[in-house]
Amino acid sequence: MRPSLLRYAAQALRRRDYSSAAAAAERKVAILGAAGGIGQPLALLMKLNPLVSSLSLYDIAGTPGVAADVSHINSPALVRLHPPACIPLLAGSSRVKGFVGEEQLGEALEGSDVVIIPAGVPRKPGMTRDDLFNINAGIVKGLCTAISKYCPNALVNMISNPVNSTVPIAAEVFKKAGTYDEKKLFGVTTLDVVRAKTFYAGKANVPVTEVNVPVVGGHAGITILPLFSQATPASNALSHEDIKALTKRTQDGGTEVVEAKAGKGSATLSMAYAGAVFADACLKGLNGVPDVVECSFVQSTVTELPFFASKVRLGKNGVEEVLGLGQLSEFEKEGLENLKGELKSSIEKGIKFAHAN
């Protein structure tokens, strides 16, 4: 039977995707915490990304199943596995490599261009992100120590909360190891942007795919500051009360999901999407695609705080340029002043932890 036109077109598209991926540089992505609520769908999305030629999935448990599952997808990324128990599951697959020996984390990381970290515990109702500090700070510190040893040049995408503290922890770990490059460390705040876009599109009644909203500050409560005055397409249908409500909903977006999940964790699917969008932007920057701009929590001089989320231009070395805040409304100026105290103390808490431990 002759293939239908539709199937023919799909095959042609697939061939084009594969050839353009082959033309790009070989890129290895590692996900640490890959068997978790975020890690699994993120592994799926990164396996589908044609810019990824090798995908390394690391966790303290559960990775064999995830890696076996994801590795069967007929996309070019090659899945690397940890721990080694997964090897027999995948014997016979020429696209998959396993890890053996005591230093599997090292092998998972070696040669990585981008390391995404969604490892650590999520919130339950009634908790703040800062309540995760005691457990997640140590996890992040350990993983960053390994990164500084095995792939010191990788771009690090920090998802683990509290991002306002885990990013400063990572910076201090890298400084101590002599591998810190401020251009290569990113707190992933893309989910705040994703939410701001969705909520704005709904309220302003504009097509969501066309919406852009910068979100600056940090990634917890009032430190999340969406700049709806700069949203595009602009809308004059929104009142000040609407903007206040959209701001609050964006700031409370994580809590909205935590409460809806009622004890079963926090945002995973939307976070995996956001994490995949940000990692894709990092890969495009590395590959020399011009004008790749995303918001991220990075080392910054945009304010007096040492780390701050704002628009960042991504390039071959990571951060090419940290962009300024642009014109703010009076409401946003007030929000900016109000967030500084909390953000400063979260940053200092991270730095203090890294020095003391």
Ligand X SMILES: O=C([O-])CC(=O)C(=O)O
Ligand Y SMILES: NC(=O)C1=CN([C@@H]2O[C@H](COP(=O)(O)OP(=O)(O)OC[C@H]3O[C@@H](n4cnc5c(N)ncnc54)[C@H](O)[C@@H]3O)[C@@H](O)[C@H]2O)C=CC1
- Print the binding letters for residues 21-60 with ligand Y: x by CB under 6 A, - otherwise: -----------xx-xxxxx------------------xxx
Minimum separation from the CB atom of position 261 to ligand X (A)? 10
Which residues are bridge partners to 158 per DSSP?
117, 187
Residue 136 is assigned to a ligand binding site:
yes
Q: CA dihedral defined by 246, 309, 138, 318, rounded to 10 degrees?
A: 130
Structure tokens at 82: 């940890």
Minimum separation from the CB atom of position 166 to ligand X (A)? 11
Q: Does 258 bind ligand X (CB under 6 A)?
A: yes
Burial class (CB in 10 A: 0-12, 13-18, 19+), 9: exposed
Minimum separation from the CB atom of position 233 to ligand Y (A)? 25
Cα-only R_g, the chain:
20
- Candidates 30, 52, 139, 279; binder of ligand Y (CB under 6 A) is 139
Residue 188 binding target from ligand Y, ligand X, none, CB below 5 to 8 Å by type: ligand Y
Q: CA dihedral defined by 125, 131, 132, 135, rounded to 10 degrees?
A: -130
Would strands 78-81 and 114-117 be described as parallel, antiparallel, or unpaired? unpaired
Q: What share of the chain is helix, strand, coil (3-state, %, to 5)?
A: 50, 15, 35
Stretch that binds ligand X, among 15-23, 145-153, 249-257, 308-316 (CB under 6 A): 249-257
Residue 130 binding target from ligand Y, ligand X, none, CB below 5 to 8 Å by type: none
C-alpha–C-alpha distance, residues 271 and 163, integer Å: 13
Longest dimension (CA), the chain: 70
118-147 positions binding ligand X, by CB under 6 A:
122-123, 129
Which residues are bridge partners to 225 per DSSP?
216
| HSE (side-chain half, CA atoms, 13 Å) at 240 | 4
Residue 165 binding target from ligand Y, ligand X, none, CB below 5 to 8 Å by type: none
Find tokens 């995949």 and name the residue: 276
Does 219 participate in catalysis according to the annotation? yes
Nearest Cα residue to 215 out of 239, 241, 246: 246
Q: Does 266 bind ligand Y (CB under 6 A)?
A: yes
For 140, phi and psi rounded to 5 degrees?
A: -65, -40
Residue 33 is assigned to a ligand binding site:
yes
Minimum separation from the CB atom of position 245 to ligand X (A)? 18
Minimum separation from the CB atom of position 161 to ligand X (A)? 5
- Candidates 257, 272, 292, 309; binder of ligand X (CB under 6 A) is 257
Residue 161 is assigned to a ligand binding site:
yes
Catalytic residue among 72, 82, 219, 240: 219
Q: Which residues bind ligand X (CB under 6 A)?
A: 122-123, 129, 161, 191, 253-255, 257-258, 266-267
Known binding-site positions: 33-39, 59, 123, 129, 136, 159-161, 195, 271
Q: Which residues bind ligand Y (CB under 6 A)?
A: 32-33, 35-39, 58-61, 118-123, 132, 136, 139, 142-143, 159-161, 163, 188, 191, 219, 265-268, 271
Question: Which residues belong to the active site?
Answer: 219
